[in-house]
Structure formats: C-alpha cells, structure tokens
Chain A
Amino acid sequence: MQSEKKLTKEDTWRPAELRRHIREKDSSERYSRHREDTDRTRREGESMERRHRDPDREKLKEKKLRHGDTGDRYAEQKKDRSYDRRSEKDRERRGEEERKKQVGDARNYRETILDKEYFREREKQKDRHKYKEKDREKVRERHSEDWERRREDREKERRREEREKEHRRERRRHDESEVRRDQTEKLHREPGDRQHRGTHDDRRRDKDIQEAKRRSEQSEDRDKKQEHRRNNEERERRHKERRHHDEKDERESKERREFKKTDDEVRNSHGNRKQTEREKQKERHKKEEEGAERRHKDRGHSEVAKEDLERDHGEKRSSRKSQSDKSLRHEKMEEETKDDVAVSKQQMMDGKNGGEHVEKAELAEEEYEEDFEDYEEDFEDLDESAEETEDEVHDGKEEQTAQPSKEIESIRRAMAEENERAGTAQSRRSIDREEEEHVSKGSERNQSKISRHGKFIDFVAAKQREVSQKAAAKQKKRGAELLHLIDLDFSLTCSLLDIPPVSEYEMYIKSFGNANTKQAYVQCNEDNTDRDVQTEEIEICEKWTQHPPEFSGACGDPNFSQEAQDKTRDELILDSQQLMSFLDSASQVMVVLLEEDQAERKSLRKLTTQTDSLSFSDGSLQLNTTLPFLSGRQISLVHFSQGQKHTMLSVHMPKVQASTPHLDSCSMVCVWNIWEPSRPQKILIYEAEIQCCCFSPGKSTLVFAGTQVGSVVLWDLRENSSNHYKLKIGEDEWTFRHPTFSTDAVMSSPGHASPVASVEVIPSFVAGGLRAEVPLLAFEEGLSFQLASLDESGMLNIWVVVELPKGNEAGSLTDLGLRPGGKVKLLHSSSLLTVQRPLLKVAGTARPFQTMLLKYHPTDSNQFFIGTNLGLVSHGTSHGLKTPPQFYGFQEVEERTVDINSIHFSPFRPNLFLVGCADGSIRLHTVNHEQPVAEWKNSTAGEPVISAQWAQTRPAIFSVLDAASNLHIWDMMKDDAQPLITKKMSTDGVTAMAVFGDSGHQNTYSGIALAHESGKIELHYFTPTLTVLNPTEEKKLESIMTEAF
C-alpha cells in the first residue's frame, strides 16, 4: 500500500496542484517530443487522420446523422460477399447465433450493471480478438512470418491476461452467462480467420433484418455506448494535444482533402447505393491493405518510439505493465481499424438514408461493440506510436468518408478550442484508472448527451467532474485507510428527550383547575404559641401551734421572721396600746364623769338618806360587786395604791361552796377605779387563797400577791386582755387574768415553805428623807425595784422585779414561772430569817412564833418592821446594820402574846406608825423609840383591831376597824383619849376597811372603803371636817410626840 501510494502521489493532490504538476510534466515532455520530432514528422498523416476520425465519431454519437459505413467494413463486406456466395446457410446459422448472443447480451444487461460491463468487455475482447485475427490474416497475407509470430505472442499474452481477468470476474457471474460466453467464444474462435470475416458480414445483414426488434434494446445500450464515446473523446483529445502544435497546418490541409472525398462519396451513395458501396468497399479493402503495410512499417518506428517513451516513464512502471501496455497497443490498433469500419458504416447509412433498417441495425451493433473497444483505448495513453501507425492506415479510408463539412468544421473548431483550453493538463492522465472511469460513467453520459444535442462538448465541466471524481476517489481511499485506524462504535444511545405523558387528572387541573379558584393566604396565630404547665406549684406554708391556744401566741408563722412579726406586733401593740391608752384614759374620764354624774344624783339622795346612819360620811359610793363570779365571796382585803390614789384592789376569797368548779376554787383580785364603780377594771385570779396583796410603786401596773401555799405571784396589768382567758357570763364578757409570774416553779430552793404573810415593795430610794416622787418616776422608766415577801415562819425573801424587754410567746425555758408572753418576772435576790433565837426562846414557851406583818419604812428601804404574834414589832434592816430599837412593845414591860394585826405609817410623818393589836389596844410608835408614844387600851371594847389606818388628808385622824364591825374614827386634835366617832355596822358586818384620800391641792378628798360580809364594797367620803387639813394639826401631833418622851 505504501509503495503504491508513493507511486500515486498525485492522488492526494488537489486539482490545481495536479494541473500545475501536469503542465510542468507536459512541458518537459514537449521537450522530449521535440527531440523526437524527426520521428513524428512521419506521423503527420496519421495525426491528420485521427483528427478526421474524431469528428466522425462525434457524428456517430448523433444517431440521426448516420451515414453509410466506410472503409474496412465495406471491404469486409466485400470479402464477405464472396464468402456469402459460398455458403448462404452458414450465414443464416451464424445469424441465428448472433441473435442468440444478442438476446443473451440484452439479458445480461438487464442483470447487474457490473455484469453487463464485464460482459461488454468480454464481448469487446472477443471482437478485438476477431479483428486482430482479421488483421493478422491480412498481415499474414502480406508480411513476413516474423511479424505474425510476434503478434501471436502478444495475443497469447493478452489472452492470458484476459483469462485472468475473466477468471476473476466470472466468479461472480452467472453460470449461464459463463456458458454462453464460452459458446460464443468458441463460435468466434473456432471458425478461424476466414470464417470470421464471413460471420461478420452475415451478422451485419441479420442484424439489419432484426434491427427493428432490437431498437428498444439499443436505446438502452446507447447510453452505455455514449459513455464509451465520451472516453474516446477524451482519449482522442489527449492524443491530439500532443500533436496539436506542430501538426496543425498539415492536418488542416488534409482535412480539406478528406472532406472533398467524403462529399464525393456521399454523392455516390445517394446515387447508386449498393454498387458504390461495393466499390468503395473494394477500394477500402485495398487501402486497408496498404494501411496495414504501412502500419507494419510504422510499427517498427513506433516500437522504437514506444521504447523510448517507455524508457522515459519506465521508472515508474513495472515490466509487467509495460508488457500489458504493448498488448494494449495492439488492441488499440485493431480498434482504430474498427473505428474506420464504423465510419464507413456511417457513410453507408447515410447513403441508405432511413430506408435501410438493416444497415442501421448493423451500425448499432457495430457501435455497441465499438464502445467496448473505445473503452480499452484508455489503456493506450502512452502508446502514441502504435496509434499513429494505425491512424496512418486510416488516412486513406477517411478520405472516403462523406460527411457534412460544416458540422465537422464546427466540431473541429470546438475541439481545438477545447484542446487549447485544457492544454496539456490531461495528457498525462494516470493509466490505471479503470475504477474511476467506471464511477464517472453516469455523469459523463449526461454530459455527452448535452453536447450531442447542442453539438458542443463542455470539456471544462467534464474536467471538473473528473477532478471531483478523483477527489472523491481519493477521499474514499483515504477513508478506507483511516477506517483501519478508527474504531467506530454503536454502543452509545443517548436519550434526548423524555416527557412523560400528563395524566388525565393533571391535565384537567392544569386547564380547569384554576378556573374558579382564588388563592388566599391565612396566617394562623402560629407564632403566638402558648405554653402551659398543668401542675401548679405547691404552696408550702409552715405554721406552728401551741396548746393551750389561750392567746394569739399559740400559733405562728415562721415565714414571718420573729423580729418582723414582733415588730409588726409591737407596732400594732404600740398603736393599739396608744389607742388603748388613749381610750383607757378617755373612756375612764368619760366613765368617771358619767358615773360621777350618776353617783352624784344617787349619792345626793343617798347622802340625804344616809346622813343619819353615817355621820362621818359626806357621801358614799358602792362598787358593783354584784357580779356573778364575785357573789358569795368574802372580801379579805381592800387595798389602795399609793401612787394612784383612786386605784383600789379587793381580794375576794374563794367560795366556800363551789358552784363553778374552775372559778370558784380560785381567789380573785379585782382592781377598781373608784371613779368607775360599775365594774372592776381587771379581774385577777389565782388558784390558791391569797393572803396579802400590794401594788407596784408609782403607777399601779403590777399587782403582787402572797398566797397561802407560799408562792409569790404578780400580775402585769398592762398585758392585753386578749391574751387572757375570757368567760362570757350573761351578756358581758369578762377577762380573767392568770398571774404573769409565779414563784411556784422556783419554790425548790429560795421559795417560801409556809404561807406568805405579807408582800411589800421595798422603796427604791435609800433612807434620807426624800419624797417618793423620784423613785416612782424612775420605775416608770423601767428600772427594776425590789419586792420583799415574808412568810409566817419569819423568812423574808427579797425579789428583784425585772421587766423583760419583750415577752416570749412560746414561753420561757429558764423562767418556768413566767407565763408565755409575760414580760415581768421575779428574780430571787436574797432571803433572811428575821426572827432571832433569843426572841423565840422567850416567846417559845407559849405559842409558836409567827410573823404576821411586814412593813418597810416609807422613806428608808433598809428598815423594815415586822409584826409578830407576840405583840411586838421587830425592827430589822436589810443590810446588817442594826438600828435601835430592836422591838417596839407596849408601854408595860410585860410581854403579851398578842397578834399584831396592823401596822400603818403616817403619810405625813414617816417615823410615826400605828400598831393595832388583836387584844383591841392601839399603839402609836415612833421609829426611834421602843416605847410607844401613846397607847389606847380598850378603845374598841376589847374587840381585836382588824385594821388601823391614818387618814390621807389629815395627819391627826385615823380610823380603826375592829372585829365586831365597829368603825372608830379618831381625831387627836379634838380628843386624844377616845375616838371621835364610833360607828357600828350591825346590819352588814365589815370584813375589811381601807382609807383612801388624795392630799392633792386641787381636789382634796378622803374617804374610807368598807367591805362588807355580803361582799359589798362601800366607799364613804369623809365629811370636809375630817378631810380638810388643819394647819395646827402637825404641831399638835408634834407636841404629842414630844410630850410622850
């Protein structure tokens, strides 16, 4: 492939390049041709002839302008005539064969084009063979055997080639055609040279007869023939080009000659057709023979020339090719002769002019065969010499051809132009281009048709076509080569588009779904979410409680801090206290006013009524002791506060017959305001019997009491009534206050072992003669004071009264005697035994020594006076220093075992005190003297004195109550030996008596409170004579004291 490729390098060239290349080559060839000019001069005639021939062929193509055959054919016919004479039957037989053959041909045509072409080729070869043989025959007749031998050699070669070719092609061919061909070949070959000529003639005639039938076939065939003709044209053109330059002039002159001849011939043919034809044939035969001779001669030259040419081009060609070329050359020569025959035939046809169907048929047949020969001419490009010789042979014959000079002339002119234009470009066409020409046949056919009609050949277009064909072939080849290098695959399948069908519903929705709808947006309140917890937090609250729930402190809430609680309470208390205090004072004032008003009206009436009974009384007031819980109780003690003169307390003994078990077994202390007699201010209760009672100094906020069981108790009157036990009796609600503090719990060590005889507040100021105002004030500020309690065994306990800053509602752990919420407590300070041994020994014989009463010196807290059951008042001091006298006794030295029931210090003279004895004697003592100042015996008629008290407003008056309920009022100014007034309370015995009075400047009053057995308490105001202070009284009293000593 590679080598071939290199050889056919031009294949890949572009047309332009190719043309250029060829031109160059041409020019070089031209030079070489110049060298051979000497040889070529001999071929002038030949070239002339050839040019002649070409127009002839053009005419042949134009079917209607066909004239009678010329030259060889007629010559042959002539010969055939002679043969004809010999065997008419033979001819017929051959005609039959011919017919068969033709039929076969037609059939072959109708098969494949390839087959047809091959067949045609085969036919052509056969014909060629025939003609060759004919030629050979002629040559044999006239020339030496050398030539013939050579020819035979060539023929053999050719045949061998043919056979090879055929062998190749026939493989694909039908058996039928193969057989037929063999037959025909045999038919053509076996009869030998002589027969050949005969058969040809016969055949022609037969054909004439059958022409009508074959017309249709021919028309088909003609197309193919035209292709061949086209090839011929080109070939001729090429040939002409070579000789064009140097032989032009000669050619023209010859042509002119020939035209004349042809004209003559035409004329002849028109006249006596057959005769002239025969003559012509004879002539032609002669000429042919001459031409053959000439050809023979020329062949020597031509071979030399050919060899030269071959030498020129031999480099490119193989030896085998050159051989084939030679053989082709021979074929060519034969073809040339045949061409001549065809021309003569044409001329003949012209002569016959339409009527001669037979001739036409023959012509057609001839043409048909001729085409195949033309086709072969392509192989002879280089073989000029051979052709030339052949042409020379024709020279003579062509002179005879009768053709319209005009047409020829025009055609020739066109061709000349064409040649000039094409130049030498095509001269060197590659030789082995069979394939290409096969391909290009179709297009060329059309072209030839056109040119035939217009009598003009478009060579440019043809050339272009050829070029394009070449290019196509090249591409094809290239493609074939490339196809080895490239792998084509068919695997890829690409899906370009895939739209799924829309479902019915979707379609509906698409087209109608939005018809009557409107799009609206609704925003739910989604972002406004609410979070909820179902379980609620459990509220925890801590509470505590205490039993018994007697007051508000019984329960509490620790969430409130104790302080805050207390604070609020304090505030509340403060506020309420302020309010209470205000209300208290205000209400008291109001009540007092009201009661005064009421009492005034009553007392006025009473006073008027009672004036008789109580001479000393200026008016009386009865405290409302008709309360249910007080009824049936004896009053053991009535006591007035020293600080607040209008405040009084009464001690009610427990009931003898208990009706209500709780209250009746208790002693009761009622605190009264004498201006408010309707009801007691406070009611204090204690479970045991109360022996003695006293107020706190100053403001009477505390009440102390000594009990029979030996305990000292105190009540804080400031405590809120809500904290105390309340009892609803009847319509009124009464508050019963239990003691704030009791020494019952602390009895173990410092307490009293016997009933408490007396409790006394120790004055807070030391002896010095000061008035009581200052210490009272001091107490108001919360300072503590001391309390002394004396039991019957003589044991004196001194307590410190301590007020706590705040009370503990829960109760105190240390002070067990303190009531919850209580603020005041007693701290045991000291205790001392007041009764000395000697004294006891002295008195011990008769009855057990008892201390009955305790009194402190009003201005000296260090000195205390104890009344005993021996009629003596012992004088002691708290702090060791003994002050004389030790005892205060009777005026007589003798001792009497008499209880001292009362000791009372004069409010005007602190050193002066009264002592009342159970034997009814009353003594007046001064602190400094053992002996009494005065002593009144039997003043009460021997009745024991229960109480002897100084009047508060006049220093010289004192009152005495004896056990027989006689009240004696003494006025020492008027009478110092006997009482001024003695009043016997016979109807209702008086159990207790207390003197009250205020020595104040604005309102001076004085009176006496009497507690009756029935439980009534009467307050009697002294008449002004007993109340108003006499300025001389103190002097009198002074004088009495000084008189005594």
Chain B
Amino acid sequence: MVEVEGSDSYLIRPNHQHKFKPTIVKEYIHEILRERLSGVLYDPESVPELTRSLAEAVKDKVKNAGFDKYKLIVQVIIGEQRGQGVKMSSKCLWDADTDNYAADVFMNESLFCLVAVFGSYYY
C-alpha cells in the first residue's frame, strides 16, 4: 500500500518514465534469447529447465528496467521445429492505458522460442 496516508488519492497511471515500454523489453528478450539460445538444439529433457531459467533471466532483466509498480508475467515457450505450423495468441483483460506486453520470437534450425512479457500495472 503506497497510498498517501489519510488521503483518498490513488495513483492510477504510471509516470511516463516508469511505464512499461514494449520496445525496451523486447530488446531485452531478444538479447537474452540470442545469448542463450543461439546454436542450442532442442532437447526435450533439458528444455523445461531452460524455459524456467529463461523466464527467470527475462524477469530479472525486466525488473531492473524500472517499471515501477508493475506486475510482470513472463511466459516462455520452447518448441521443436519440425515443419509444423504453430499459432499462438494471447488475450488479456486489462487496462490498455497502462498495461502492455512485449513478445519476441527466436528461431533456429531445431527450435523456436517465444517469450512474452506482460506488464500489468499495480494500482
């Protein structure tokens, strides 16, 4: 609870500099994915751990980006590429003014990895 004592004012909108910026986040994601996944082959045994660590890495990175009062949800999906078609989409019930998301896809010969970061403002 951050509200000012005794007053009824709520901080409903984040400052601009603290707003969730998808482009920056996307860059982070991109960097991390490139670092961690380039040349990695799909291995069904190691992938769960990999997704978890990726998610942690992305979360830590985005947390340090200074998006105050944002709840972050990091979703990492790694799939094997075998020529199949994949379609993924998300639907959110949120305040479009403050909340946003950033997603980036990494693909190499054997796998694809999608990282989506949803930032939800915590009033």
What is the interface of chain A, defined by CB distance below 8 A to chain B?
A: 2, 5, 9, 12, 14, 474, 478, 481-482, 485-502, 506-507, 510
Would A487 and B95 count as touching, CB distance under 8 A? yes
Q: What are 17 A-to-B residue pairs whose CB atoms are below 8 Å?
A: A482-B123, A486-B95, A489-B94, A489-B95, A496-B90, A496-B103, A497-B86, A497-B87, A497-B112, A497-B114, A498-B86, A499-B86, A500-B85, A501-B84, A501-B85, A502-B83, A507-B83
B114 touches A488 (CB 8 A): no
The interface residues of chain B lying within 8 Å CB-to-CB of A494 are 89-92, 101, 103
Most buried by A among B3, B5, B92, B101: B92
CA distance A9 to B94 in the complex (A): 29
Task: List B79-111 residues whose CB lies under 8 Å from chain A.
Answer: 81, 83-96, 101, 103, 105, 107
Binds A, one of B6-14, B30-38, B46-54: B6-14
In the complex, B116 has a CB within 8 A of chain A: yes
Is B40 on the interface with A (CB-CB < 8 A)? no
Interface majority SS (helix, strand, loop, mixed), chain A: mixed
Distance between Cα atoms of A485 and B101 in the complex (Å)? 22
- B103-A486 in contact (CB<8A): no
A496 touching B114, Cβ below 8 Å: yes
**Given contacts A486-B123, A502-B83, A493 and B93 within 8 Å (CB-CB):** no
| Distance A498 CA – B79 CA, assembled complex (angstroms) | 13
**Cα–Cα distance between A150 and B97 once the two chains are bound (Å):** 61
Cβ-defined partner of B88 (8 Å) among A495, A506, A507: A495
What residues on A are CB-neighbors of B114 within 8 Å? 496-497
Q: Which residues of A contact B93 (CB under 8 A)?
A: 488-490
- Whether the Cβ atoms of A498 and B88 lie closer than 8 Å is yes
12 more A-B residue pairs beyond the given contacts A492-B92, A494-B90, A497-B87, with a C-beta to C-beta distance below 8 A? A482-B12, A486-B95, A493-B89, A493-B91, A494-B92, A494-B103, A497-B77, A497-B103, A497-B114, A499-B81, A500-B85, A507-B83
Give bound CA distance, A949 to B49, whole Å.
152
Complex interface residues of chain B between 1 and 32 (CB less than 8 A to chain A): 1, 3, 5-6, 8, 10, 12
Q: A481 CA to B123 CA in the complex, in Å?
A: 11
Chain B positions within 8 Å of A507 at CB level? 83
CA A487 – CA B95 in complex, angstroms? 6
B112's closest neighbor in chain A, by CB? A499
- Is there an interface contact between A492 and B91, defined as CB atoms closer than 8 Å? yes
Distance in angstroms between the alpha carbons of A486 and B84 in the assembled complex: 41
Set of chain B residues within 8 Å of A497, measured between Cβ atoms: 77, 86-88, 103, 105, 112, 114
Q: How many A-B residue pairs have CB under 8 A?
A: 82
B116 touches A492 (CB 8 A): no
Say yes or no: B94 contacts A5, CB within 8 Å.
no
Residue A499 contacts which of B12, B85, B89, B123 (CB distance < 8 angstroms)? B85
Docked pose: A617 CA to B54 CA in angstroms: 149
- Looking at the complex, which one of B85, B88, B96 makes contact with A492 (CB distance below 8 Å)? B96
**Inter-subunit contact B91/A9 (CB<8 Å):** no
A500 to B107, CA, bound (A): 13
CA distance A496 to B91 in the complex (A): 10
In the complex, the answer to whether A488 meets B86 with C-beta atoms within 8 Å is: no
Q: Is there contact, CB below 8 Å, between A482 and B10?
A: yes
How far does the alpha carbon of A954 sit from the alpha carbon of B3 in the complex, in Å? 169
Residues of A within 8 A of B112 (CB): 497, 499
Q: Chain B residues near A502: list those with CB within 8 A.
A: 83-85
| Partner pick for B12 among A486, A493, A495, A498, CB 8 A cutoff | A486
Residues of B within 8 A of A498 (CB): 86-88
Specify which chain A residues have a CB less than 8 angstroms from the CB of B89 in the assembled complex.
Answer: 493-496
Once the chains are docked, how many angstroms separate the CA of A478 from the CA of B116?
Answer: 29
**B96 contacts A496, CB within 8 Å?**
no
A138 to chain B, nearest CB (A): 51
Top 5 closest pairs, chain A to chain B, by CB: A501-B85, A502-B83, A497-B88, A499-B86, A496-B88
- Residues on A with C-beta less than 8 A from B87 are 495, 497-499
- CB closest chain-B residue, reference A489: B96
Q: Which residue of B lies closest to A5 (CB)?
A: B8
Residue among B83, B86, B87, B107 having the largest count of chain A Cβ atoms under 10 Å:
B83
C-alpha spacing A872/B92, complex, angstroms:
158
Measured between beta carbons, the chain A residues less than 8 angstroms from B3 are 12
Of B10, B90, B103, the residue contacting A485 (CB under 8 A) is: B10
In contact, B88 and A488 (Cβ under 8 angstroms):
no
CB-defined contacts of A14 to chain B, threshold 8 Å: 1
Nearest-neighbor residue (CB-CB) of A504 within chain B: B83
A500 to chain B: closest residue by CB? B85
Q: Across the interface, which residues of B come within 8 angstroms of A491, CB to CB?
A: 96
List, in ascending order, chain B residues with CB within 8 A of A489's CB.
93-96
**In whole angstroms, how far apart are the Cα atoms of A185 and B123 in the complex?**
49
Expressed in whole angstroms, the minimum distance between the Cβ of B50 and any Cβ of chain A is 17
Q: How long is the Cα–Cα vector from A1027 to B91 in the complex, in angstroms?
A: 153
Q: Are B83 and A501 in contact (CB under 8 A)?
A: yes
A497 to B, closest residue via Cβ: B88
Which residues in B have their C-beta under 8 angstroms from that of A2? Answer: 8
B103 partner residues in chain A, CB cutoff 8 A: 494, 496-497
* Bound complex: CA A496 to CA B12 (Å): 28
* Alpha-carbon distance between A485 and B12 when the two chains are bound, in angstroms: 8
Contact among A12, A488, A506 with B95 in the assembled complex (CB-CB below 8 Å): A488
Tell me which of B1, B85, B91 contacts A490 (CB under 8 A).
Answer: B91
C-alpha gap A491/B87 in the complex (Å)? 19
Bound Cα distance from A494 to B87, whole angstroms: 11
Report the separation of the CA atoms of residues A489 and B97 in the bound assembly, to the nearest whole angstrom.
Answer: 10
CB distance from A500 to the nearest CB of B (A): 5
Chain A residues whose CB sits within 8 angstroms of the CB of B5 once the complex forms: 12
| In the complex, residue of chain A having the shortest beta-carbon distance to the beta carbon of B101 | A494
Which A residue's beta carbon lies closest to that of B103? A496
Among the interface residues A9, A474, A490, A506, which one has the most CB atoms of the partner chain B within 10 A? A490
Distance in angstroms between the alpha carbons of A964 and B42 in the assembled complex: 149
A501 contact set on B, CB distance < 8 A: 83-85
Tell me which of B1, B12, B92, B101 contacts A12 (CB under 8 A).
Answer: B1
Nearest CB of chain A from residue B36's CB, rounded to whole Å:
18
- Distance in Å: Cβ of B2 to nearest Cβ of chain A: 11
Residues of chain A within 8 A (CB-CB) of B81 are 499
Contacts of A474 in B (CB 8 A): 1
A487 contact set on B, CB distance < 8 A: 95
Of all chain B residues, the one with the shortest Cβ separation from A471 is: B1
User: Of B85, B90, B105, B116, which one neighbours A493 at CB under 8 angstroms?
Assistant: B90
Q: B1 contacts which chain A residues (CB < 8 A)?
A: 12, 14, 474
CA distance in complex: A12, B8 (Å): 10
Which residue on B lies nearest to A479, using beta carbons?
Answer: B123
Complex-state Cα separation, A497 to B114, whole angstroms: 7
Give the complex CA separation of A97 and B95 in angstroms: 57
Q: A490-B91, A490-B93, A501-B85 are in contact. Are A496 and B116 (CB under 8 A)?
A: yes
B window 56-94: CB within 8 A of A: 77, 81, 83-94
Q: Which single residue of chain B is at the shortest CB-CB distance from A510? A: B83
Cα A494 to Cα B8 in complex, Å, equals 35
Q: How far is the CA of A9 from the CA of B95 in the complex (A)?
A: 28
Give Cα A450–Cα B6 distance, bound, in whole angstroms. Answer: 39
**Alpha-carbon distance A497/B3, docked complex (angstroms):** 39
Q: Which residues of chain A have C-beta atoms less than 8 A from B91's C-beta?
A: 490, 492-494
Report the minimal beta-carbon distance from B7 to chain A, rounded to whole angstroms. Answer: 10
Bound-complex Cα distance A502 to B89 (A): 20
Determine whether the beta carbon of A9 is less than 8 Å from that of B6. Answer: yes
Q: Which residues of chain B are within 8 angstroms of A493 by Cβ–Cβ distance?
A: 89-91
Q: How far is the CB of B120 from chain A (nearest CB, A)?
A: 11
Residues on B with beta carbons closer than 8 Å to the beta carbon of A490: 91-93
Residues of A within 8 A of B86 (CB): 497-499
Q: How far is the CB of B51 from chain A (nearest CB, A)?
A: 14
Residues in A neighbouring B123, C-beta threshold 8 A: 478, 482, 486
List of B residues within 8 angstroms of A500 by Cβ: 85
Closest to B96 in A: A489
Q: Kindly report which residue of chain B lies nearest to residue A503, judged by CB atoms.
A: B83
Contacts of A488 in B (CB 8 A): 93-95
Docked complex Cα distance between A510 and B88 (Å): 24
Rounded to whole angstroms, the CA-CA distance of A482 and B103 in the bound complex is 28
B98: nearest chain-A partner, CB-CB: A486
Bound form: Cα–Cα A482–B10 in Å? 8
